[in-house]
Amino acid sequence: MNRGFHCSSLTMAVYKGLCLCSLMWIVSAAERKEFKVTCLASEDCVLPCQFRSDGQGARVMWYKKKAVVSCTRYGNTSFVVGHNSPADKYKGRTGLFADQVLEGNATLMLRNATPNDEGKYYCITMTAPSTDESGIISLVIEAPIREVDIEFSSDTITCSAEGIYPAPSLTWSTDPPTDARLLQNKTKTQKNKLGFYDIRSYLRLTGNVATDHTYICCVSSDTNKKTAFLRHEASIVTPAGGGVMISCSLPHTILQSFNLTWRFRRSGPIASINVVDQKSWAEIWDKWKPHVFSNFSISSGLKLHSLKSEHQGNYTCEVRTPEEIYVTWTDVAVTEDSQQYTYIYIFIILGLIYFLILSYGTLVILGYKIVGLERRARRQAENTDEATESLNTE
């Protein structure tokens, strides 16, 4: 069964509806009963187990190989002795459906499943009349690609995605297409403690690649794929106090639901529009209210006003759909206006005059002091001369 997703065809909008929380049962043909259960990572995972109950008392033990996953007693279990403690990595993460155990249902709930939980599980149930061992449950974990992020700096585009299982792959392309050899990329895949994969790829922008291209990064795994698009929208120069319009080129495909966010230097959002089934909600973040005209829309773009030099930098417009993210960026340069320059000059000249007056005054005072000191020294010298003379005459 090959259900891998590939990035080769960009127009091929493959979307497989993931049945969240659903279990997939595939009974193997082998004599030894083995079930496959597929769970989404970080969600509650249910491992089924049934047994013959006498309705009086039962002890339920779940194992993964030899490791104890869970060990519990229900009702009158005076027929058993001892208790096994679950392994540390399962402590606090498991539970049974207490009200159903004495009816013969020892189904296990495993919370916050991670790729490290993959493997073969079975349950042993003990009642006064008998002991049962369940078939083997082969647990498969899936962590689909949730978000792909694309960022740019002067000469590098970075594409990344986190918390994926099984291992993803990543490819770069451009629109219009460029020779793949011109797309110098470096891709790193890392596995974290819990078994999830993080992937990060750097694309060097060489001089040969035109800046009016759209850069496309596609991350795919066995379960799904997500694509990020990055494009330069415009370069704008505005005087301080002036305004700009940050627009977004929307993808050609018609979208029913998407989120659009304008950001400054890829940090906190300025404003956003969420569209769900053609109904939309708009929001402006408080910090930006003094600089945003409130009548912004998807088609007319975001209009900013009263910009200062601190508003210089990159503005991005980010459109997220369930499968794709489109980022366009506009760089805005804010120049000091001439009036401000005049004030600066006046301040500098006033400062200089003040400094000159101050230093002249200090010089005059110093001059007087030095003259005074010299006079006193001369007088003292005369006095000592007189004294020695009078000594000599005695």
Ligand X SMILES: *[C@@H]1O[C@H](CO)[C@@H](O)[C@H](O)[C@H]1NC(C)=O
Site string for ligand X, 172-201 (x = CB under 6 A): x-------x--x-x-x--------------
How near is the Cβ of 100 to ligand X at its closest, in Å? 5
Do 277 and 255 contact (CB within 8 A), yes or no?
no
Residue 107 as a binder of ligand X (CB under 6 A): the answer is yes
C-alpha count within 13 angstroms, C-beta hemisphere, residue 31 = 0
How near is the Cβ of 76 to ligand X at its closest, in Å? 4
Residue 206 as a binder of ligand X (CB under 6 A): the answer is no
Q: What are the structure tokens assigned to 300, written together?
A: 């007319």
- For ligand X, how many residues bind (rule: CB under 6 A)? 22
| One-letter amino acid for residue 173 of the chain | S
Residues within window 241-300 making contact with ligand X, judged by CB under 6 A: 257-259, 274
Residue 79 as a binder of ligand X (CB under 6 A): the answer is yes
Looking at the Cβ atoms of 129 and 367, the one nearer to ligand X is: 129
Q: What DSSP designation does 21 have? A: T
Site string for ligand X, 28-67 (x = CB under 6 A): ----------------------x-----------------
How near is the Cβ of 275 to ligand X at its closest, in Å? 9
Burial class (CB in 10 A: 0-12, 13-18, 19+), 107: middle
- Of residues 22, 55, 84, 97, which one binds ligand X by CB under 6 A? 97
- The residue range among 10-18, 74-82, 303-311, 327-335 that interacts with ligand X, by the rule CB under 6 A, is 74-82
- Of residues 14, 15, 16, 78, which one binds ligand X by CB under 6 A? 78
Looking at the Cβ atoms of 55 and 367, the one nearer to ligand X is: 55
Looking at the Cβ atoms of 34 and 44, the one nearer to ligand X is: 44
Residue 15 as a binder of ligand X (CB under 6 A): the answer is no
Looking at the Cβ atoms of 259 and 312, the one nearer to ligand X is: 259
Expressed in angstroms, the distance from the first to the final Cα of the chain is: 131
How near is the Cβ of 64 to ligand X at its closest, in Å? 20
Residues within window 321-380 making contact with ligand X, judged by CB under 6 A: 321-322
- Of residues 38, 42, 105, 156, which one binds ligand X by CB under 6 A? 105
How near is the Cβ of 141 to ligand X at its closest, in Å? 20
Looking at the Cβ atoms of 214 and 257, the one nearer to ligand X is: 257
Q: What DSSP designation does 67 have? A: E
Residue that the structure tokens 């740019």 belong to: 152
Looking at the Cβ atoms of 99 and 212, the one nearer to ligand X is: 99
- The residue range among 27-35, 208-216, 221-229, 317-325 that interacts with ligand X, by the rule CB under 6 A, is 317-325
| Selection from 374, 234, 392 nearest residue 314 by Cα | 234
Do 80 and 96 contact (CB within 8 A), yes or no?
no
| One-letter amino acid for residue 22 of the chain | S
How near is the Cβ of 71 to ligand X at its closest, in Å? 19
Q: What DSSP designation does 220 have? A: E
DSSP string, 341-386: HHHHHHHHHHHHHHHHHHHHHHHHHHHHHHHHHHHHHHHHHHHHHH
Q: From CA 194, how far away is CA 115, in angstroms rounded?
A: 6
Residue that the structure tokens 């230093």 belong to: 359
* 142 strand-pairing partners: 40
What values do phi and psi take at 36, rounded to 5?
Answer: -105, 130
CA 312 and chain centroid, separation: 24
- The backbone region for 386, taken as left when phi is positive above 0, alpha when psi lies in -120 to 50, beta otherwise, is alpha
How near is the Cβ of 49 to ligand X at its closest, in Å? 9
Looking at the Cβ atoms of 123 and 334, the one nearer to ligand X is: 123
Q: From CA 249, how far away is CA 177, in angstroms rounded?
A: 19
Do 62 and 121 contact (CB within 8 A), yes or no?
yes
Do 189 and 219 contact (CB within 8 A), yes or no?
no
Residue 167 as a binder of ligand X (CB under 6 A): the answer is no
Q: Which residues bind ligand X (CB under 6 A)?
A: 50, 76, 78-79, 97, 100, 105, 107, 128, 171-172, 180, 183, 185, 187, 257-259, 274, 320-322
